[in-house]
Amino acid sequence: MSGVATIIFSGGHWLVPGLAALVALAAALVWTGRRSTTERRVRLGCGLLKLAGILTLVVCLLEPAVGRPAGPVRGPICLR
């Protein structure tokens, strides 16, 4: 039986700059969205997609890695 996987952020030193960039870009997104002349639902949909992209980039800066607890090994392990 396997254990629960954990997420390890190896780029933790990028947390503060990443959050600062997220806040700045979200503020710019809101500012430009309010000045737009398109329909509100279009602005909201496009803004949410842009925010999802920005959040994805910030998470990639943190270099997430999924780790699982070591369990029993089935079969021999051959290393050359």
Task: Select the more confidently predicted residue: 69 or 13.
Answer: 13
Total length of the chain: 80
Beta strands in the chain (DSSP E): 6-9, 64-67
Nearest to 22 by CA among 65, 61, 55, 63: 55
Q: Nearest CA to 66 among 3, 9, 13?
A: 9
Q: Above 70 in pLDDT, residue 7?
A: yes
* Phi and psi at residue 70, to the nearest 5°: -70, 135
Structural element, H or E, at residue 64 = strand 64-67
Global pTM? 0.68
Contact predicate 67/5, CB 8 Å: yes
| pLDDT for res 1 | 46
Give the model confidence (pLDDT) of 11-49 as tens digits.
888 889 989 999 999 999 999 988 888 999 999 999 999
